[in-house]
């Protein structure tokens, strides 16, 4: 009786539609690319003979050939043939490792090969997150025969704009940690091997990131020039090098629905949001546009209950495998489980700590409300007089000194993956005590305010040099003072006209800068306050702008910058909040 009830419950929730299959694993499946390079994969599939729907998973991190991959095993048990492949130049696969450059063509070739195999029924989807999500976008843009759906989790859609940089500022700790330390062109030289216990102070990760010029920093830990890392530095703007591999340039070529999944504190949040909005607006078929979906939770680089300093609780977690299984069962097996008819957007509202389905992103009917900066001229730090007001006041200004030798330390935010700073929501008060951080705060709220959507800062400001950075954080201040960051954005000033249009500043001239802060969903509760922090560094998450105007990576020295932020009057600096009904 108990077993029958359990079966009914699992069937009702979609978690058990049929008994699990016995499986077999076939190693070293050789897949020939169009240029003759052979990539190798492991095949997980049901043991019973037959033709099965296929999941293609392409990874630079290894297929775990010395073990059994638990997720691929579960998919095979549920009736899928799963081809897990080492990308070009990684592990067993032939060719040269050059991140991002071959994934479109190699992905297309692999999907079409898989669709034709005797164990395949001809229907293919792609699975995976982070780099494994990016390769899905790349392959889908080539319209491979047999591909019917993708599920890119925590994935970038524009390698330049929402991976290598944000607002043109170089993501130093992630790019160095991933591109040089973790994913180099070749094995690190023996003289550079160190254990954590015996690493010389000058070779510790956090110290290497201070090295100038950036362009030869790879020599400090790898002992050789890392070709792809140097190429990233050389191509500092959104030029042809980057546009050639940008998924956002090719959404109109993607013919299949995409389930986008990400976190409010993930390093690739902008890619997750852009993947949804780009496909809804430009997807290559009506079905792809209509059935592409978005899920964003209070997570970092994948679903969790706690991130940073904040425990969001049991309800914040999402069973990603169960969601993937429903998605693939519908598109690969034809299961009418209703996933195609669900609301296209499901987002988690922090502050209220609840999920809500929405009909689009941005949320229909959003009211974009400006919240203006104001002060008596001394908004420096928590002890200053910075205010946020719903109407613009009289003209005023605040000033601070940005010294790249003493940068504001990264404290939470949209980061990930082994960098020396913890991502997520963290108490911002330690950095808000600094004089080089301008702090603007509302009075205590007497009623809740919900926001969900893109957040932007329109800043009227000047610097005394040819270039600098503007770093903005939106903060939810609790009654006990805990200052929780909920959105952030940065702009390298030379990119104020566009990421592909760098132009240095005229020292002392006031410009209007628009800083994109990606997006968030948060309810500011009664008793809380809304806060905006403004500064010019966030290190080591981003490289320090040396304020010299030299090309990225070239500066061996830095200069101190004197910054002026204007507000009120004709230069009414403000943050734009996407206000929505309470969830």
Nearest to 541 by CA among 206, 164, 171, 163: 171
Domain ranges of the chain: 22-153+250-304+313-349, 164-240, 367-580
Helix (H, G, I), strand (E, B) or coil at 280: helix
Tokens of 512: 């209007």
C-alpha 272/C-alpha 279 separation (Å) is 11
Among 147-151, 191-195, 225-229, the least confident range: 191-195
C-alpha 273/C-alpha 250 separation (Å) is 16
**pLDDT band, very low/low/confident/very high, at 15 (cuts 50, 70, 90):** very low
- Catalytic one among 266, 398, 436, 476? 266
Q: What is the pLDDT of residues 244-279, one digit of tens each?
A: 999 999 999 999 999 999 999 999 999 999 999 999
Does residue 291 contact residue 340 with C-beta atoms inside 8 Å? yes
Q: Is the dihedral of CA 51, 57, 60, 62 positive or negative?
A: negative
CATH H-level superfamily of 22-153+250-304+313-349 = Alpha/Beta hydrolase fold, catalytic domain (3.40.50.1820)
Nearest to 526 by CA among 388, 297, 352: 352
Active site annotation includes 301: yes
Among 56-70, 77-91, 497-511, the least confident range: 56-70
Active site annotation includes 500: no
Cis amide linkage into residue 213, ω under 30° from 0: yes
How many Cα atoms within 13 Å fall on the side-chain side of residue 350?
Answer: 28
C-alpha 351/C-alpha 484 separation (Å) is 10
Contacts of 461 (CB under 8 A, 6+ apart): 470, 510, 511, 513, 563, 564, 565, 566, 573
**pLDDT band, very low/low/confident/very high, at 67 (cuts 50, 70, 90):** confident
Does residue 112 contact residue 122 with C-beta atoms inside 8 Å? no
The angle, 0 to 180 degrees and rounded to 10, between the axes of the packed helices 131-140 and 103-115 is: 70
| pLDDT on residue 122 | 98
CATH H-level superfamily of 367-580 = Galactose-binding domain-like (2.60.120.260)
pLDDT at 37 over 50: yes
- Owner of token pair 């304020």: 547
Q: What is the pLDDT of residues 517-565, one digit of tens each?
A: 999 999 999 999 999 999 999 999 999 999 999 999 999 999 999 999 9
Mean pLDDT, rounded, for 420-448: 94
pTM listed for this prediction: 0.93
| pLDDT on residue 101 | 96
Helix (H, G, I), strand (E, B) or coil at 361: coil
**pLDDT band, very low/low/confident/very high, at 187 (cuts 50, 70, 90):** low
Nearest to 439 by CA among 425, 424, 427, 429: 429
**pLDDT band, very low/low/confident/very high, at 65 (cuts 50, 70, 90):** confident
pLDDT at 204 over 80: no
Q: What is the pLDDT of residues 366-401, one digit of tens each?
A: 999 999 999 999 999 999 999 999 999 999 999 999
Residue 72 is inside which H or E element, if any?
helix 70-77
What percent of the chain is predicted at pLDDT more than 90?
87
- Catalytic one among 130, 375, 536, 573? 130
Beta bridge partners of 151: 127
Q: What is the pLDDT of residues 96-134, one digit of tens each?
A: 999 999 999 999 999 999 999 999 999 999 999 999 999
Mean pLDDT of the chain: 93
Mean pLDDT, rounded, for 406-415: 96
pLDDT at 418 over 80: no
Q: How many CB atoms lie within 10 A of CB 298?
A: 32
Among 181-190, 312-321, 324-333, 393-402, the least confident range: 181-190
Does residue 44 contact residue 25 with C-beta atoms inside 8 Å? yes
- Owner of token pair 């770093």: 471
| pLDDT on residue 191 | 43
Active site annotation includes 86: no
C-alpha 418/C-alpha 179 separation (Å) is 12
Residue 41 is inside which H or E element, if any?
strand 38-46
What percent of the chain is predicted at pLDDT more than 70?
93
DSSP at 251:
G
pLDDT at 6 over 50: no
Tokens of 387: 């205010």
**pLDDT band, very low/low/confident/very high, at 20 (cuts 50, 70, 90):** confident
């Amino acid at each position: 009786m108990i077993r029958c009830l359990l079966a009914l419950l699992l069937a009702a929730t979609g978690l058990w539609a049929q008994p699990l299959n016995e499986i077999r694993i076939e190693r070293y499946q050789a897949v020939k690319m169009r240029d003759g390079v052979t990539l190798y994969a492991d095949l997980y599939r049901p043991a019973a003979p037959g033709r099965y729907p296929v999941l293609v998973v392409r990874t630079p991190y290894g297929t775990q050939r010395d073990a059994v991959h638990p997720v691929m095993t579960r998919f095979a048990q549920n009736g899928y043939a799963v081809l897990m492949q080492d990308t070009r130049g990684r592990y067993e696969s032939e060719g040269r490792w050059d991140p991002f450059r071959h994934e479109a063509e190699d992905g297309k070739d692999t999907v079409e090969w898989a669709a034709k195999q005797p164990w395949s029924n001809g229907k293919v989807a792609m699975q995976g997150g982070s780099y494994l999500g990016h390769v899905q976008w790349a392959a889908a843009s080539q319209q491979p025969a047999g591909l019917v759906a993708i599920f890119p989790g925590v994935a970038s859609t524009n390698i330049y704009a929402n991976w290598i940089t944000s607002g043109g500022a170089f993501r130093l700790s992630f790019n160095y940690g991933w591109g040089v330390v973790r994913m180099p062109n070749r094995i690190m030289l023996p003289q550079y091997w160190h254990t954590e216990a015996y690493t010389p102070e000058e070779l510790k990760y956090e110290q290497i990131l201070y090295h100038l010029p950036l362009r030869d920093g790879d020599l400090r830990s790898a002992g050789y020039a890392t070709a792809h890392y140097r190429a990233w530095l050389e191509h500092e703007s959104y030029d042809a090098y980057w546009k050639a591999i940008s998924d956002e340039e090719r959404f109109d070529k993607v013919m299949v629905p995409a389930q986008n999944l990400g976190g409010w504190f993930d390093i690739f949040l902008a890619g997750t949001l852009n993947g949804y909005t780009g496909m809804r607006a430009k997807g290559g078929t009506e079905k792809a546009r209509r059935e592409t979906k978005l899920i964003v939770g209070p997570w970092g680089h994948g679903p969790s209950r706690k991130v940073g300093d904040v425990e969001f609780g049991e309800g914040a977690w999402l069973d990603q495998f169960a969601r993937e299984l429903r998605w693939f069962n519908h598109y690969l097996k034809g299961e009418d489980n209703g996933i195609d008819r669900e609301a296209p957007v499901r987002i988690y509202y922090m502050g209220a700590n609840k999920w809500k389905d929405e009909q689009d992103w941005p949320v229909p009917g959003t009211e974009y409300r400006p919240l203006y900066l104001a002060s008596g001229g001394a908004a420096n730090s928590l002890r200053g007089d910075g205010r946020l007001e719903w109407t613009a006041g009289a003209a005023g200004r605040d000033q601070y000194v940005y010294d790249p030798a003493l940068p504001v330390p990264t404290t939470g935010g949209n980061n990930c993956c082994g960098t020396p700073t913890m991502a997520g929501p963290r108490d911002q008060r330690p950095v808000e005590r600094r004089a080089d951080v301008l702090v603007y705060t509302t009075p205590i709220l007497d009623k809740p305010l919900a926001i969900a959507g893109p957040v932007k800062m329109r800043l009227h400001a000047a610097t005394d040099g040819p270039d600098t950075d503007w770093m903005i954080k939106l903060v939810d201040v609790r009654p006990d003072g805990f200052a929780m960051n909920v959105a952030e954005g940065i702009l390298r000033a030379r990119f104020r006209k566009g990421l592909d249009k760098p132009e240095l500043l005229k020292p002392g001239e006031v410009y209007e800068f628009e800083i994109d802060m990606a997006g968030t969903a948060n309810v500011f509760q009664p008793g809380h306050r809304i806060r905006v922090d403004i500064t010019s560094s966030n290190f080591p998450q981003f490289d320090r702008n040396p304020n010299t105007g030299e090309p990225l990576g070239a500066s061996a020295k830095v200069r101190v910058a004197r910054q002026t932020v204007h507000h009120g009057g004709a230069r009414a600096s403000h943050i734009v909040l996407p206000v929505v009904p309470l969830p």
